[in-house]
Amino acid sequence: MDARALLSFIDASPSPFHACATVAARLEAEGYREVSDHSAFPTDPGRYVLRRGGSLVAWAVAPQHQAADGFRIIGAHTDSPNLRLRPHPDTGGYGYRQLAVEVYGGALLNSWLDRDLGLSGRIVVRGPHGPVTQLILIDRPIARVPQLAIHLDREVSTTGLLLNPQEHLRPIWGLGDHHQGEVADVVAAEAGLSVDSILGMDLMLHDLTPSTFIGEHQDLISAPRLDNLCSSWAGMEALVAATDPAAPTTAQIPILALFDHEEVGSSSDRGAASPLLEAVTERIGLALGGGRDEHRRALAASWCCSADMAHATHPNYPERHEPGHIIDLDGGPVLKINSNQRYATDALSGAVFVVACEQANVPLQRYAHRGDLPCGSTIGPITATRMGIATFDVGAPQLAMHSARELCAADEPIRYARAMTAFLAPA
Ligand code: ZN
C-alpha cells in the first residue's frame, strides 16, 4: 500500500459515481467480477462487486464459507458536501453567465470561494432499451465563485463572513448573456452526444487543485473529499489485501459497503438506510444454499466497521475539543464513542477494533465529543439499526472536515488500511 495511490484515487473521484467507478475498476483488476442486482447472484465461490448509482458493495466468498458464518463489513461513504447544479442551471446577469447551484450537505461555504472549479457527475441518455447512465468529467477550470472585495464587505473582519446559499454562491462561468440550455449543450458536446438524447443530469462542481503531500517534511496530505474517500480507499485496500488469493481464507465473508447520501442523512434507494446491504447479505446466503434462519444467524454473528473520518484536535481551537480526549493528527486510527448513540461503538464492538489495531501493530486513539456541542453522526448507527449488526465507528484523524480542501497526516491512511485489513482477516 502506498499513500500516493490515495491521492490519485481522490483526484479520479470527484463525484460519488466516479468514486464507485474507481473502486470497481481497482477491484476488477484484482479479479472481482461485477454483478447486477437484477440478475441472479452467482452460486460459485468468488469475488464480486455490485454498483447502484453512487453506492457499491463488494464481497468475496471462499469455498469454505457457509451461509450462517456471518460477515465482516467495512462501511464508508462516497459523497462529500459540494455545490450541485439545479435542474435549470442556466442563469446570469450584469454581463455574466452563471450556474444555478444548490448546496449539497453541510459544506463549509467559504471554502468554495475563489477556487477554479470543474464539473462532474452523470447524465442519463436514451439507449436502445431505455435510459442508460454515462459518467461526465470536465477536469478543466470552467467556473469560479469570486468572493466580495473587502472594501464592499467591511464587516467581514469583525462579524465574519456570512454567505447566503441562494444569493452568494452562483459560480461565474463566462461573460455575456446566458441562454437556456447552454449547460446541456456543453455537457452534450463533452459526451459526444446530441443534446436531445440527454434525459437527465446529476452534476456537481469540484476543486481542481491536485491532491498533494505538503509540509517541510511532506508529512501532511492536502486533498479534497478526505471525508470520506480516505475511508473508502482504505476499505478498498483492506478488502484487496484480505482477499488476495495468496492470503489465508477469512473465517467470515468480507464485505466492503460504500454508500452515497451520508452527508444528507442516508435515506435514499442506495444510502445506508436503504435495503441495499441487507439485500446483498441475504442474497449471498441464499446463493450459498441458506434460508431465512441462516440469514438471521449470519447477521447475529457479523461485525460492522463503520469508517468515517474523525476530528483531530485543532491547534488553533483546542477549547472546541473534549480535553480528556485529545486526538493527534498523526496518532493512529480513532475509535469514536458516544453514549447517546451518535456513534454505534460500545465496549464489546469496540474491542474488535482494539484487537485489529493490536494485530496490525498500529496505535489507537479514542474520540469523544464535548458535552456542550452537538455531536455529528455517520452510517454506523444507521446500519446497526437497519440490520441489527454489532457495529463500531472508526475514522482517520483529519482537520478542516467539510472544507473543499481537507488535511490529514501522510502516514495515517496506511495505518487505517492496515487496521481494517486486520479486522477483515483476524489472526
Ligand atoms: Zn463523513
Residue 233 CA: distances (Å) to CA of 96, 143, 207, 391: 39, 28, 19, 20
Contact 121, 203 (CB under 8 A): yes
Give the mean model confidence (pLDDT) for residues 186-212.
97
Q: What is the pLDDT of residues 412-421, one digit of tens each?
A: 999 999 999 9
CA of 378 to the centre of ligand 1 (A): 7
Output the CA 228–ligand 1 centroid distance in Å.
Answer: 5
In the reported structure, the alpha carbon of residue 402 is separated from the centroid of ligand 1 by a whole-number distance in angstroms of 8
Q: Residues whose CB is under 5 A from ligand 1 (ion)?
A: 227-228, 308
Cα–ligand 1 centroid distance for 309 (angstroms): 6
The answer for residues whose C-beta is within 8 angstroms of residue 381's C-beta and 6 or more apart is: 341, 342, 343, 344, 391, 393
CA of 376 to the centre of ligand 1 (A): 9
Judged against a pLDDT cut of 90, whether residue 269 lies above it is answered with yes
For residue 172, the CA-to-ligand 1 centroid distance in Å is 29
Residue 86 sits at the vertex; the CA angle it makes with 193 and 112, to the nearest 5 degrees, is: 105
Helix (H) / strand (E) element for 296: namely helix 292-300
Q: For position 420, what pLDDT does the model report?
A: 98
At position 232, the amino acid (one-letter code) is S
Ligand 1: centre distance to CA 293 (Å):
34
Pick the CATH number of 3-80+224-424 from 3.40.630.10, 3.40.1260.10, 3.40.50.720, 1.10.150.120: 3.40.630.10
Q: State in Å: Cα 263 to ligand 1 middle.
A: 7
Q: Decide: residue 8, CB within 10 A, 0-12 exposed, 13-18 middle, 19+ buried.
A: middle
Span 42-64, pLDDT tens digits: 999 999 999 999 999 999 999 99
For 83-207, the fitting CATH number among 3.40.630.30, 1.10.1740.10, 3.30.70.330, 2.30.250.10 is 2.30.250.10
| pLDDT score at 375 | 87
Residue 376 has a pLDDT of 85
Q: Once rounded to an integer, what is the mean pLDDT over residues 302-327?
A: 97
Domain boundaries, the chain: 3-80+224-424, 83-207
How far, in Å, CA of 364 to CA of 127, rounded?
50
CA of 260 relative to ligand 1 center, distance in Å: 11
Distance 133 CA to ligand 1 centre (A): 26
Q: How far is the CA of 308 from the centre of ligand 1 (A)?
A: 5
